[in-house]
C-alpha cells in the first residue's frame, strides 16, 4: 500500500523502468541471458504468446541493479527467480539502513 509521496514516486519510477526494459527486450536492444548471472542456473523456458505466435523464452528475470532512477533504467542483470528475490531483499535492507 502506497502511503507517502515518496512511495508514490518510487512506484511510478518502478513502473516506468519496467516498461522501458520491456520495450528494449521486445526491440532486441536488451537480450535476456540464458543462465542466471549470479548462481549460473539455467531455468526451464516459459511459454508466451506474442503477436498470435507461441514462443519459448528465457525464464530469467531482469533485475534493476541500482534501483529505478531514470539514469539507471537500462542497468539490468539477468537473475533466476530465487536470486532476484534475494537481490531485491538486499536492496530493501540497504535502503532501510
pLDDT along the chain (97 residues), means of 10: 71 89 94 94 89 88 90 94 93 80
Q: What is the pLDDT of residue 31?
A: 93
Q: What are the Cα distances from residue 72, in Å, to 17, 23, 49, 65, 66?
A: 8, 15, 29, 8, 6
Torsion of CA 9, 29, 83, 91, to 10 degrees: -30
Element (H, E) at 84: helix 81-96
pLDDT value of position 20: 93
pLDDT number for residue 55: 87
- pLDDT for residue 5: 78
Q: What is the pLDDT of residue 1?
A: 52
Amino acid at each position: 500500500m502506497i502511503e507517502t509521496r515518496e512511495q508514490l514516486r518510487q512506484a511510478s519510477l518502478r513502473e516506468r523502468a519496467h516498461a522501458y526494459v520491456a520495450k528494449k527486450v521486445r526491440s532486441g536492444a536488451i537480450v535476456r541471458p540464458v543462465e542466471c548471472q549470479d548462481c549460473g542456473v539455467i531455468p526451464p523456458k516459459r511459454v508466451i504468446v506474442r503477436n498470435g505466435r507461441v514462443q519459448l523464452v528465457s525464464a530469467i528475470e531482469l533485475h534493476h541493479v541500482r534501483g529505478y532512477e531514470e539514469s539507471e533504467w537500462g542497468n539490468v542483470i539477468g537473475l533466476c527467480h530465487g536470486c532476484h528475490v534475494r537481490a531485491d531483499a538486499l536492496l530493501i535492507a540497504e535502503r532501510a539502513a
